[in-house]
A and B are shown apart, each in its own frame.
Chain A
């Protein structure tokens, strides 16, 4: 069986599920950021696969993937900055201990 759309979407879903598990189950803010990056990459694979197999001449999915990369870069910069600011103030990056906005 040759590689088709389903293979890529299953790969994308598996990567997204791994990232989802990591984002929910990790106790280190940096590890949660790594998981979120995996999820963004999984979404990009899905969009490029749809672009390749459904509308090969239009490339709209690839354009969307580029914008996802732009937003992911911005997210990574701001995320690392927030984690460093929290670490400076509280000497921890454990999200279960960062409960300033909980009541």
Chain B
């Protein structure tokens, strides 16, 4: 029952914050609304008993990515001009509504094999076993490390003063 109430509050906050991100003209306020949306998503992870994911959502998204984006806003000085819509506003709305309709139709016309097994808590040890253990995702972890290194080097090269 408590989880139900938490889900509804977090879902409403998350959707309203996401709507604020796409509707506010002030890009800096849109970035702050995005941080609220990230926090709501972290709460949604907790209601899904994904505690480790909620922690790294707050660390990576709320802590790092939002700071990076706000830094980008500050350095491009577009706060005054805001974030207006372009001429594809109505087609974009139609595309988004069509996508939502298709997903809802597919969702409600499928019979899901919902498992009744209780979820694992805490998930940290099980996730570590998945990521680093035998028959796990260790190759993907190493590729992710190379990807992050490439991204760091690419970002440095792109913003370097000539």
Chain A residues packing against B (C-beta within 8 Å): 2-11, 13-22, 24-28, 30-31, 33-35, 37-38, 41, 44-45, 48-49, 51-57, 59-60, 62-63, 65-67, 69-78, 80-85, 87, 93, 96
Contact = CB atoms under 8 A, between A and B. Distances in A.
Contact of A26 (B14, B50, B68, B85): B85
B112 A5 contact: yes
Contact of A16 (B45, B99, B108, B151): B99
B11 A84 contact: no
Closest 9 interchain pairs by CB?
A24-B92, A74-B151, A22-B22, A28-B83, A31-B83, A25-B92, A81-B158, A81-B155, A21-B96
Interface of B: 3-4, 7, 11, 14-15, 18-19, 21-22, 27, 30-31, 34, 37-38, 41, 44-45, 47-50, 52-53, 56-57, 60-61, 64-65, 68-69, 71-73, 75-76, 78, 81-86, 88-89, 91-93, 95-97, 99-100, 103-104, 107-108, 112-115, 117-120, 123, 126-127, 130-131, 137, 140, 144, 147-148, 150-152, 154-156, 158-159
* Interface SS majority for chain A: helix
Contact of A66 (B3, B41, B53, B115): B53
Contacts of B103: 9, 13, 16
Given A37-B65, A73-B148, A18 B19 contact: yes
Given A48-B50, A69-B61, A53 B155 contact: no
